């Protein structure tokens, strides 16, 4: 059963207006609250700032790889991209890091799942490259698409990038306990 979220459907609202909200988790958490699913798996960086009443983040996994990946149409690394190259990303953090690295880059908003973003790269004549989380490409067996794992001094990752969050009903103590066995957090649970 697939569940489309607001984040899947709405690719126009700027990320800066939805950060910290349940934009990417709302429909999945609703299915969890209604008992249609047993637990939810979210990209940890997409979690809302406030967990919905009745739910708990039972576990956050270790990061597969926290770095960002450059996927370049012509297999060019960041330093090899032509003057005024156009790069797609919607993350403000990534946009600022790219502009600091090279002020000539033209950065455009690009959203959607990884498949949609890769497709946009290959059909848009004006787009030379996109930035995607390495972890997402690895999980989808698309590591071969990575042109360059961007050095951390160029693009500092979101603290939860590459991690998954497992969310369950607070009252389902048995499931929460089971899921918590893979929890990598050292602090008190959210």
Condensed to tens digits (0 to 9), the pLDDT of residues 101-139 reads: 999 999 998 888 899 899 999 999 999 999 999 999 999
- pLDDT value of position 1: 59
In sign, the C-alpha dihedral spanning 101, 97, 128, 67 is positive
145: domain range?
68-149
Q: Under 8 Å CB-to-CB from 175, ≥6 apart: which residues? A: 38, 39, 58, 168, 169
- pLDDT value of position 139: 93
Average pLDDT score over residue span 2-15: 70
What the block records as the tokens of 145 is 């698409």
Judgement on whether residues 144 and 80 belong to the same structural domain of the protein: yes
Judgement on whether residues 55 and 79 belong to the same structural domain of the protein: no
- What's 19's domain CATH number? 3.40.190.10
d(CA 187, CA 190): 9
Judgement on whether residues 47 and 85 belong to the same structural domain of the protein: no
Judgement on whether residues 55 and 102 belong to the same structural domain of the protein: no
What the block records as the tokens of 90 is 């919607």
- Alpha-carbon distance values, 186 to 69, 96, 105 (Å): 28, 30, 39
The lowest-confidence range among 42-51, 90-99, 129-138, 161-170 is: 42-51
Say how many domains are in the chain. 2
Average pLDDT score over residue span 157-183: 92
């Amino acid at each position: 059963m697939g569940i489309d979220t607001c984040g899947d459907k709405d690719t126009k609202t700027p990320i800066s207006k939805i950060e910290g909200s349940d934009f990417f988790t709302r429909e999945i958490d609703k299915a969890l609250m209604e008992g249609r699913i047993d637990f939810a798996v979210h990209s940890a960086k997409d979690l809302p700032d406030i967990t919905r009443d009745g739910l708990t983040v039972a576990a956050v996994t270790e990061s597969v790889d926290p770095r960002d990946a450059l996927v370049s149409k012509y297999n060019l690394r960041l330093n090899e991209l032509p003057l005024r190259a156009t790069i797609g990303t919607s993350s403000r953090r990534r946009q600022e890091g790219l502009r600091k690295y090279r002020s000539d880059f033209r950065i455009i908003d690009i959203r959607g799942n990884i498949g949609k973003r890769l497709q946009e790269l290959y059909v848009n004549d004006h787009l030379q490259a996109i930035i995607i989380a390495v972890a997402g490409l690895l999980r989808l067996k698309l590591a071969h698409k990575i042109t360059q794992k961007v050095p951390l001094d160029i693009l500092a990752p979101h603290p939860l990038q590459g991690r998954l969050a497992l969310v369950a009903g607070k009252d389902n103590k048995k499931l929460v306990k089971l899921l918590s066995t893979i929890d990598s957090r050292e602090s008190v649970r959210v």
